[in-house]
Amino acid sequence: MIQIKNSQQIKAMREAGRITGEALIVARDHIREGVSTKYLDTLIRQHIEERGAKPSFLGLYGFPGSACISINDEVIHGIPSEHRILQEGDIVKIDVGAFYKGFHGDSARTFPVGRVSEEAAKLIAVTKQSFYEGMSAVKVGNRIGDIGYAIDTYVSRFGFSAVRRYVGHGVGREVHESPDVPNYGTPGRGPRLCEGLVIAIEPMINQGSFEVRELSDGWTVKTVDGSLSAHYENTVALTPDGVVNLTEVEIGE
């Protein structure tokens, strides 16, 4: 069942969203060659807890980290490790959630490590813009399919593909709620969008095929063909004043 939020609940979610977005700033500011993903995860957890919140992902379904940190052809759900060391030219995806005053925020970014290839930089930029293409479809009376169609149509113009096995979702008192928000779809299909809807729109975009596989660790998801993947996510609310991005903060991208 889709949980519609009132204005006070959305206000509370703004606070959770800000903490989430700030945690990404902390991570971004420490990304460099030689840093472990575990180090970044520790910084993220410290920031969230210092703000009086809890990492949404820590222990969620048994996940061992505070953030999902995935590198290059890893799409999502990478487990932070002191043995995973960032290298010049990598692209690193960081997915963060913060639980504060009864509500979650959920957001992700893809960051370059030093200088990256032209194609990697293009993938990051296209993935980011595809989020905004999807968000532009969040209007009262539209449907979930309109969001996915906008994302998929945009990335296809660049020869990229939207992952289909994993999707965006509702956000609220639970980090994952109804409805599912695929990054592909048919216009005019799916649940109708209405005021009070809060969802995470999160394009996961591959350079090559949209096919992915889960590794034996039970978490990490990679592209089947070994191509690079990028991820960009925000939690957004549909309010009487239009769509509001709850997790976007000034991070100097």
Per-residue pLDDT of 130-146, as tens digits, reads 999 999 999 999 999 99
Tell me the pLDDT of the chain averaged across its residues: 97
Q: What mean pLDDT is predicted for residues 194-199?
A: 98
Residue 250 lies in a domain: no
Q: C-alpha distances in angstroms, 198 versus 164, 177, 180, 209?
A: 21, 9, 11, 30
166 assigned to some structural domain: yes
Look at residue 72 and give its three-state secondary structure. coil
Instruction: Give how many domains the chain has, as a whole number.
Output: 1
Rounded to whole angstroms, the Cα distance separating 113 from 132 reads 24
**Confidence at 218, pLDDT banded by 50, 70, 90:** very high
Give mean pLDDT, residues 62-81.
98
pLDDT of residue 251: 47
94 DSSP 8-state letter: E
- Give mean pLDDT, residues 205-230: 98
CATH label of the domain that carries residue 87: 3.90.230.10
Q: What is the mean pLDDT of residues 197-209?
A: 98
Chain centroid, CA 250 distance in Å: 16
Within a domain: 251: no
Query: Tokens 């703004």 label which residue?
Result: 14
Q: Considering the domain boundaries, does residue 240 fall inside one?
A: yes
Q: What local confidence, expressed as pLDDT, does residue 8 receive?
A: 97
- On whether residue 1 sits in a domain, the answer given is no
Positive/negative CA dihedral, 135, 140, 145, 146? negative
Would you say residue 177 lies in a domain?
yes
Region 176-184 average pLDDT: 98
Taking only the tens place, the pLDDT of each residue in 15-51 is 999 999 999 999 999 999 999 999 999 999 999 999 9
Look at residue 253 and tell me whether its pLDDT is greater than 60.
no
Q: Can you give the pLDDT at residue 252?
A: 45
Residue 252 forms part of a structural domain = no
14 found inside a domain? yes
Model confidence band, residue 101 (pLDDT cutoffs 50, 70, 90): very high
pLDDT at 152 over 80: yes
Containing structural domain, residue 154 = 7-245
Indicate if the pLDDT at residue 249 is higher than 90: no
Residue 198's Cα: distance from chain center in Å? 14
Residue 102 has pLDDT above 80, yes or no: yes
The 10 Å Cβ neighbour count of residue 146 is: 22
The mean pLDDT of 165-172, rounded to a whole number, is 98
